[in-house]
Amino acid sequence: MASVRQRAMAAVGTSALAGLMALAGTPACMGQGEGSGANQEEVIKGLGVVPVSFELHPGQMTAVLTIQNDTDREADFQVRPYAWAQPGGTDQLSATDVLVASPPLGRVSVGAGQVVRLVLLQPAQAREASYRVLLDQVPPPPQPGVVGFALRLSIPVFAEPSGHVAPHVRWSVQSDGGAYNLVAVNDGGRHDTFRDMALTAADGRQLALEQNISPYVLAGATRRWRILASPGPPREGLRLRARADSGAIDQTVSAPSAGP
């Protein structure tokens, strides 16, 4: 019978690419329901995880993740931390030895819980540091005629630096090969999140925005939302409304002065 480590590696090999590239596309990853409080619980097929996000305050170097097994069988898991960045406006995970998980592999009995300790080995410097912890539920050994699935949660972890930091987001509409994007540039030292976004033209027309985009804009990063079915370049007088961690947004957004 294959060991937990062997089955974990097999699960990672079949699902890692989809998991890393689709962070914004599923509720269990960077989409809806995330980042709204450390007391919430995220559930995948009977595995409960709490909290669903972490914010490590200055000087805090450890945190605890609890995995609860409410299924009718033992559940194997693997936990892997990654550094999280947004180069070019897209989410990117990369290997890191700054944040570690203990234990990285384990098994949770039916009705039991397992504590995983996250340890930050280096404090954040001038800006908030961003990480993602991928929790994979490892499928049981393969059986004839049965297809196993590797389920995954992606949990955001933010580490604050010693000095006070805050988000500072500038909004604009920019052209991109004939299409147009709503663009957020965060040149502050902390992330912000944006939900329930609505972009309105001067004539009152609603400009539909691309959905299933991660609500997070990391410190020093840029995020783009495609404006759908825009009949020509949006002009001045655009109004943006949204909910953000930093407060409600209701402001005018600059648009291209000229376009194709």
Q: What is the pLDDT of residues 160-187, one digit of tens each?
A: 999 999 999 999 999 888 789 999 999 9
Give Cβ neighbours of residue 100 (< 8 Å, ≥ 6 apart). 81, 118, 119, 121
Are 25 and 146 contained in the same domain? yes
As a whole number, mean pLDDT of residues 121-127 equals: 96
According to the model, what pLDDT value does residue 150 have?
Answer: 62
Q: How many domains in the chain?
A: 2
Whether 164 maps to a domain, the answer reads no
Whether 35 maps to a domain, the answer reads yes
According to the model, what pLDDT value does residue 123 have?
Answer: 96
Are 43 and 21 contained in the same domain? yes
In this predicted model, which residue has the larger pLDDT, 256 or 67? Answer: 67
15 has a pLDDT exceeding 50:
no
112: domain range? Answer: 4-159
Q: State the pTM of this model.
A: 0.79
- Say what percent of the chain tops pLDDT 90: 58
Are 110 and 147 contained in the same domain? yes
Are 100 and 208 contained in the same domain? no
Are 179 and 88 contained in the same domain? no
Distance CA 56, CA 23 (A): 22
Distance CA 105, CA 82 (A): 16
Please report which confidence band the pLDDT of residue 231 belongs to, taking 50, 70 and 90 as the band edges: low
Distance CA 239, CA 230 (A): 15
Closest CA to 34 of 241, 243, 215: 215
Distance CA 13, CA 1 (A): 19
Domain final residue, candidates 137, 159, 181: 159
Please report which confidence band the pLDDT of residue 24 belongs to, taking 50, 70 and 90 as the band edges: very low
Distance CA 14, CA 216 (A): 27
According to the model, what pLDDT value does residue 114 have?
Answer: 95
Whether 116 maps to a domain, the answer reads yes
Are 143 and 186 contained in the same domain? no
- Within 10 Å of residue 64's Cβ, how many Cβ atoms? 11
Please count the residues of the chain.
260
In this predicted model, which residue has the larger pLDDT, 229 or 85? Answer: 85
Whether 115 maps to a domain, the answer reads yes
As a whole number, mean pLDDT of residues 96-108 equals: 96
Are 204 and 222 contained in the same domain? yes
Query: What tokens does 70 get?
Result: 């409410």
Domain final residue, candidates 120, 140, 159: 159
What is the DSSP pairing of strand 62-69 with strand 75-85? Answer: unpaired
38 has a pLDDT exceeding 60:
no
The CA-CA-CA angle for residues 143, 144, 146, to 5°, reads: 70
Give Cβ neighbours of residue 223 (< 8 Å, ≥ 6 apart). 86, 89, 183, 184, 186, 213, 214, 216, 217
Whether 200 maps to a domain, the answer reads yes
Distance CA 135, CA 104 (A): 9
Whether 225 maps to a domain, the answer reads yes
Are 38 and 129 contained in the same domain? yes
Q: What is the mean pLDDT of the chain?
A: 81
Are 196 and 121 contained in the same domain? no
Q: Which of 25-29, 47-51, 141-145 has the highest mean pLDDT?
A: 47-51
Whether 131 maps to a domain, the answer reads yes
Are 155 and 173 contained in the same domain? no
Q: Which of 130-139, 142-151, 157-166 has the highest mean pLDDT?
A: 157-166
Amino acid code (one letter) for 97:
D
Query: What tokens does 74 get?
Result: 């033992």
Whether 258 maps to a domain, the answer reads no
20 has a pLDDT exceeding 50:
no
Domain final residue, candidates 106, 139, 159: 159
Amino acid code (one letter) for 88:
G
CATH value at residue 109: 2.60.40.10
Are 148 and 179 contained in the same domain? no
Are 53 and 139 contained in the same domain? yes
16 has a pLDDT exceeding 50:
no
Please report which confidence band the pLDDT of residue 260 belongs to, taking 50, 70 and 90 as the band edges: very low
